[in-house]
Structure 1
Amino acid sequence: MPKKRTTSPFYSLLVLGILAGCYIALAGSLSTVVTNDLARYVGDGLSRLISGLVFSLGLILVVIGGAELFTGNTLMVTGWLEGKISGRQVARNWTIVFFANFLGSILIAWFFYLSGVWEMNGALVGAKSVLTANGKVGLTWTEALVRGILCNWLVCLAVWLSSASKDGISKIFCIVFPITAFVACGFEHSIANMFFIPTGILLKSQPAVLAVVAPVLGTDPAGAMSALANLNWGSFVFKNLIPVTIGNIIGGAIFVGTFYWSVFLKPSSRKPKLLVNFAAMLTRLFTN
């Protein structure tokens, strides 16, 4: 499968990448609408859990519907390690799919804005979007990077597990729990953030949204605009998207792809000496 993806025509990768971005963004829309005021009724923990459950729709559509998602494609590193595909082919796939995902996510963010869905429940949906985006650009570089690692570790585990499943129901179950975990824990997904943060930027100047956001920020609507000054395109790219993307690559390519390759796919004659020595140490420890 990795080899087939690296040889896919540009048009196919572009369209399937745009669709994947749309699917993740639609799941983000659903999550925002469902949880816009849920925490006040069930508490923060359960609200996060439900948010993760409904957000699982995104990867379900990608895996079962068939699309190209950058974060899942970080697993292509296993094909490179096996020598079946070249690093240039991996880089080509990642680059095309990443920017295609961006186009799809931005498209749904724009549709979300134009649709007026954000006005639902007295603009609480819009306020949820803005506060979510503001929280994401407020992370430090280290926080964004580490949350990106943890996120795609779980996302790629979901892809890895679902690939071993033979039927649709099994695939869905393999996807739902890891995705729910990363959302509930507040980890960072680069493609999802291509929807969440631009949506917040588009909505932050809406008077109805500011009126709802202001009390949460402990200020008036005019003060809320100042408090949201960091929510802009520059912060989106440099304070969130770049560190989260790097973290996503590390989480998927290293902690899932490389680790599993080193155990199950790498020729035994080439096993790292470190692992051999570690195994010998454990053997001596438990046999003496």
Structure 2
Amino acid sequence: MAYLAPSEFVTKMVDAGESKIFMSTRDTVIRAYMAGAILALAAVFAVTVAVQTGVPIVGAILFPVGFCMLYLLGFDLLTGVFTLTPLALIDKRPGVTLGGVLRNWGLVFVGNFAGALTVAVMMAIVFTYGFSTEPDAVGKKIGMIGESRTVGYAAYGAAGMLTIFIRGVLCNWMVSTGVVGAMISTSVSGKVIAMWMPIMLFFAMAFEHSVVNMFLFPSGLMLGGNFSIMDYFIWNEIPTVLGNLVGGLAFTGLTLYATHVRTGAKRNANVDVAAMRVAAE
């Protein structure tokens, strides 16, 4: 069958987390770089479609194409390793340490950021003909997104910070569900369908994804957005990263692990059968 039972795919999650922890620095950074770059291109694509059609939901429907590509190519996002690598530590896999988990997170963050920033520079050149003219309609829209989702939150103070964090939680709840969904199926079409649904949902709901934001906000700074680098980190990236960590680990990784690997106690089967016979009589 092209479908794995929950107990099977959750074991695959733990195995994947373990393999990522022991991956070489070179491979971890390369895979993270490419993931950040491909997701950034998908974000450009989604914003472009939304601007051209005037219908944002169309962009959200098409955005998951980038996530599907990077997953099928074996590249890594920070949101995914937040969910998978801690499970190997919790499962007490040999040689897995907290330091190893944190090392993986740090390398993937750097790789994702470098990939997203590369695409941000390239697209800024495209939008402005090498910075020789004002950005086109898509470039202006990206600048506006960066401004509204930094100083826009800052205007609400602590309530704004809480909102960013919760949007980050909700985002990686859905994104990590997409990562897990791909493990449920053994066919390419099944993986794509399982990934597409939650990724479309997070983008359509404007939840905060730390890697997408690694593209949107540096792009916004280059394309005339009225906010600073400090605004970006304090009023978006840092709380978004923390929210993504909590959302992916708490609502996807730990819940699936707790009920499909560390299952609760079961009643004695023989006692259940005897009870049913008595009831039937």
Unpaired runs of at least 5, structure 2: 1-15, 154-159, 267-281
CA contact (8 A) 1:82 1:266 kept: no
Amino-acid identity (%): 25
- Alpha-carbon distance in structure 1 between the residues aligned to 2:147 and 2:190: 36
TM-score (norm 2): 0.80
CA RMSD of aligned residues (A): 2.0
Q: Which residue does the alignment assign to 2:61? A: 53
Query: In the alignment, is residue 8 of structure 1 matched against residue 23 of structure 2?
Result: yes
- Runs of 5+ consecutive residues of structure 1 not aligned to the other structure: 40-46, 205-227, 272-288
Aligned AA for 1:102?
F
TM-score after normalising by structure 1: 0.78
| Structure 2 CA distance for partners of 1:176 and 1:267, relative to 1, 3 Å | closer
Determine if the alignment matches structure 1 residue 72 to structure 2 residue 83.
Answer: no
Q: Deviations over 1:195-249 (max 9, x none)?
A: 0111111010xxxxxxxxxxxxxxxxxxxxxxx54x2211111100000000000
Aligned residues: 239
Tell me which amino acid in the other structure corresponds to 2:67.
Answer: L
- Which structure has more helix as a fraction of its residues? 1
CA distance in 1, matches of 2:67, 2:101: 21
- From 160, 166, 174, give the equivalent of 2:186: 166
**1:73-125 alpha-carbon deviations (Å, 9 max, x no partner):** 112222221111322211111110011100000000000011237899x8211
How much does 1:176 deviate? 1.1
Q: Which moved more, 1:111-120 or 1:71-80?
A: 111-120
Counterparts of 1:243 and 1:48 in 2: how far apart (Å)?
A: 25
Secondary structure of 2:75's partner? Answer: coil
The one-letter code sitting in structure 2 at the alignment partner of 1:70 is L
Does residue 104 of structure 1 match 2:122? no
Partner of 2:259: 263
* TM-superposed deviation, 1:9: 0.7
Which structure 2 residues correspond to residues 144-159 of structure 1 after superposition, within 5 A?
Answer: 144-159=164-179
In the aligned structure 1, how far is the partner of 2:137 from the partner of 2:87? 44
Alignment of 1:194 with 2:210, yes or no, is: no
- 8 A contact 1:55–1:180 mirrored in 2: yes
Checking the alignment, whether the CA contact within 8 Å between 1:48 and 1:183 is kept in structure 2 is: no
Range moving further from structure 2, 122-131 or 142-151: 122-131
CA distance in 2, matches of 1:37, 1:202: 21
Amino acid at match of 1:8: M
1:32 aligned onto 2:28 = no
**What is the aligned partner in structure 1 of residue 106 from structure 2?**
95
Which residue of 225, 228, 234 maps to 1:232?
Answer: 228
Query: 1: distance between equivalents of 2:141 and 2:188?
Result: 32
Q: How far apart are 1:267 and its partner, in Å?
A: 5.2
Q: Is the 8 A contact 1:117 1:125 kept in 2?
A: no
Runs of 4+ in 1 over 6 A off after TM superposition: 117-120
CA contact (8 A) 2:87 2:257 kept: yes
Question: What is the letter of the counterpart of residue 88 of structure 1?
Answer: G
Q: 1:280 — aligned with what?
A: none
Give the conservation status (yes or no) of the 8 Å contact 2:127–2:138.
no
Q: Would the aligned equivalents of 1:151 and 1:248 in 2 still touch at CA under 8 Å? A: yes
- C-alpha separation in 2, matches of 1:52 and 1:26: 14
Q: In 2, are the aligned partners of 1:71 and 1:252 still within 8 Å (CA)?
A: yes
For the 8 Å contact 2:127–2:139, the answer to whether it is kept is no
